[in-house]
Amino acid sequence: MGVNVINIPLLYAFIFGHWGFPEMGVGGAAVAAGLSFTVGGLVLLGLWRREALVVKYIVAGWFTRERLARLVRIGYPAGAEMVVFQVGFFAFLMLIGNYYGTEAFAAYSVGANLLMLCMVVGFGFSIAGATLVGQHLGADDFDAAVASGWRSMAYAMLAMTSLGAVVALFAEPLARFFLGDEPLTVHYTVQMTWIMAALMPLLAVEFGIGGSLRGAGDTRTPLIATFVGLIGVRCTLAALFTFLGLPVFWVYATLIGEYLVKSAMLLRRFRSGRWKTMVRLEPGVALGG
């Protein structure tokens, strides 16, 4: 909330050049966002240093080779997953933009943004699942960890599917609100919105179960699922459908294949239970240490 309070007046100042600031147009939005998030980060660092947060600031004894190795081992697959996602997403959008035109490209972006509310809610349950699973595993309560993962998925599925249905119901007027009198772009946006709305149960699996696996320290499985689903399924099918000259609807629909595969992989991994003992406490380190 604080970041937004700072960001909004900075947007006004840098985009339009008010209060003595330079008029930067669209570029001003990036400057305003960068400055506001920098302030937010500095505030969080200050609170951490003052030990006002749950995670306490520790001056001495925080660095060990074993802990650093564990952080790298858990962290690098998550970073690699983001790289894979960006590469695959870039290739997918490049296909749409080059072969189906700006209308189809814009429709994908607007349709995805219309469903952003659903995904933000899902992200919240992903964080909750990761946190609770990590806490329960730290307490050696494996049954509670499993239950937390399933519950986070169930709540995400209920919330995301319900919100997605409402957005899909009003897809056309919402698209016209964003796009105005652009019949072809509105038509593509409605198609994209309906596909995304149908995907919400599968996206809930990725948010709920994927977040729970990450909370358990299993960051490799989401990486593999993202690579197989995005690169192996979505981008491959999109390239095939583009080569065959199919309508852009079929390119949008490749998302269904991607998330079917990703959901199946994540669910299989979670049901196996092998993630429960991937990260164990260092000898002699207490839960609060």
In a domain, 10, yes or no: yes
Q: For residue 282, what pLDDT is reported? A: 45
Answer yes or no: do 31 and 139 share one domain.
no
For residue 234, the 8-state DSSP code is I
- Beta carbons of 63 and 50 less than 8 angstroms apart: no
Answer yes or no: do 176 and 44 share one domain.
no
Answer yes or no: do 163 and 30 share one domain.
no
Answer yes or no: do 102 and 194 share one domain.
yes
Answer yes or no: do 257 and 182 share one domain.
yes
Q: For residue 6, what pLDDT is reported? A: 92
Distance CA(79)–CA(72), nearest Å, equals 10
Q: For residue 285, what pLDDT is reported? A: 44
Q: For residue 286, what pLDDT is reported? A: 42
In a domain, 86, yes or no: yes
Answer yes or no: do 212 and 142 share one domain.
yes
Q: How many helices (H) and strands (E) does the chain have?
A: 12, 0
Burial grade of 80 (CB within 10 A; 0-12, 13-18, 19 or more): middle
In a domain, 261, yes or no: yes
Q: For residue 287, what pLDDT is reported? A: 40
Give the length of the chain: 289
Per-residue pLDDT of the chain (289 residues; tens, 9 = 90+): 899 999 999 999 999 988 888 888 888 999 999 999 999 999 999 999 888 888 777 777 777 788 888 888 888 898 999 999 999 999 999 999 999 998 999 999 898 888 888 899 999 999 999 999 999 998 999 999 999 999 999 999 999 999 999 999 999 999 888 888 888 999 999 999 999 999 999 999 999 999 999 999 999 999 999 999 999 999 999 999 999 999 999 999 999 999 999 999 999 999 999 998 876 544 444 443 3
In a domain, 28, yes or no: yes
Give residue 15's domain range: 2-49
Q: For residue 142, what pLDDT is reported? A: 93
Answer yes or no: do 80 and 39 share one domain.
no
Answer yes or no: do 44 and 74 share one domain.
no
Burial grade of 120 (CB within 10 A; 0-12, 13-18, 19 or more): exposed
Q: DSSP string of 31-61?
A: HHHHHHHHHHHHHHHHHHHTT-SSS---SSS
pTM of the model: 0.81
Number of domains the chain is built from:
2
In a domain, 282, yes or no: no
Q: For residue 24, what pLDDT is reported? A: 86
Answer yes or no: do 262 and 187 share one domain.
yes
Answer yes or no: do 102 and 184 share one domain.
yes
In a domain, 288, yes or no: no
Distance CA(257)–CA(128), nearest Å, equals 27
For residue 181, the 8-state DSSP code is S
Answer yes or no: do 78 and 34 share one domain.
no
The single residue listed with the structure tokens 């919240």 is 124
Of the candidates 193, 235, 170, 203, the residue with the CA atom closest to the CA atom of residue 108? 193
Answer yes or no: do 32 and 89 share one domain.
no
